[in-house]
């Protein structure tokens, strides 16, 4: 049985950090759409050139582009043992597309984890990161836009997956190692439940 994990959480929730650890621990393909787009932009591919102004403004890349990107990514062999989705789906249309892609191959998500942190904690972490990393979408305007879009477009997915029955909330406002061990427990339980 593959181990397929979806991680949800607002910008600054620690999602990317935990996704990397989880992928290393369980040998899962880490599918981080933001990283994929940044790679396309730095290589200057047609996709990269198309998404650059959207990305820099903190807006969402159109669903059809993202869905095709993920469809292609999920078809690669490194996802055979499992994957961790970090940054996709971000809209209900993307979630519907993912649900049908996965049901076509009879491979439901093992578990959906929501990293929960209070808004003020997320914003403080994000400001700190912005100072350190120099990402082109870390301007104050683009940060505000990204958080607003999370609340409007992505947060509703929490209820979607809660209804589907495989959502687990994780307390993200704690030291990184504690968050990771709670994630591991949730993953272990989900593995048993899906076996």
Instruction: Return d(Cα 109, Cα 5) in angstroms, integer.
Output: 6
Residue from the set 146, 161, 180, 183 that interacts with ligand ADP by CB under 6 A:
146
**90 counts as catalytic:** yes
Task: Indicate the burial class of 52 (C-beta count within 10 angstroms; 0-12, 13-18, 19 or more).
Answer: middle
Q: Any contact of residue 66 with ligand ADP (CB under 6 A)? A: yes
- H runs (alpha helix) in 2-86: 15-26, 33-43, 46-56, 63-74
Q: What is the DSSP string of 85-97?
A: EES---SHHHHHH
Point out the catalytic residue in the list 20, 135, 162, 174: 135
Residue 39 beta carbon to ligand ADP: minimum distance, rounded to whole angstroms: 11
Residue from the set 88, 109, 157, 183 that interacts with ligand ADP by CB under 6 A:
88
Is 115 within 8 Å of 11 (Cβ atoms)? no
Instruction: Return d(Cα 67, Cα 62) in angstroms, integer.
Output: 9
Q: By C-beta, is 54 or 194 nearer to ligand ADP?
A: 54
Residue from the set 11, 18, 23, 110 that interacts with ligand ADP by CB under 6 A:
11
Residue 121 beta carbon to ligand ADP: minimum distance, rounded to whole angstroms: 15
Residue from the set 34, 98, 111, 125 that interacts with ligand ADP by CB under 6 A:
34
Reduced to 3 states (helix: H, G, I; strand: E, B; else coil), residue 107 is coil
Order of all β-strands in the sheet with 111-116: 29-32, 82-86, 3-8, 111-116, 167-171
Residue 173 beta carbon to ligand ADP: minimum distance, rounded to whole angstroms: 17
Q: Total number of residues binding ligand ADP (CB under 6 A)?
A: 17
Binding interface with ligand ADP (CB under 6 A): 11, 33-34, 37, 54-55, 58-61, 66, 87-88, 90, 94, 137, 146
Q: Which residues are part of the catalytic machinery?
A: 15, 90, 129, 135, 146
């Amino acid at each position: 049985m593959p181990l397929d994990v979806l991680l949800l959480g607002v910008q600054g929730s620690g999602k990317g950090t935990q996704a990397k650890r989880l992928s290393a621990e369980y040998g899962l393909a880490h599918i981080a759409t933001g990283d994929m787009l940044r790679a396309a932009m730095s290589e200057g591919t047609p996709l990269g050139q198309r998404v650059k102004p959207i990305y820099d403004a903190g807006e969402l890349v159109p669903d059809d582009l993202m869905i095709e990107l993920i469809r292609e990514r999920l078809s690669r062999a490194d996802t055979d043992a499992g994957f961790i989705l970090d940054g996709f789906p971000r809209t209900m249309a993307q979630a519907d597309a993912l649900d049908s892609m996965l049901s076509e191959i009879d491979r439901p998500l093992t578990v959906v984890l929501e990293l929960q942190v209070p808004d003020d904690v997320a914003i403080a972490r994000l400001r700190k990161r912005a100072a350190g990393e120099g990402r082109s979408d870390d301007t104050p305007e683009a940060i505000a836009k990204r958080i607003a879009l999370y609340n409007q477009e992505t947060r509703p997915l929490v209820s979607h997956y809660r209804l589907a029955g495989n959502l687990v909330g994780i307390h993200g406002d704690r030291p990184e190692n504690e968050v990771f061990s709670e994630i591991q427990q949730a993953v272990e339980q989900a593995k048993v439940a899906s076996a």
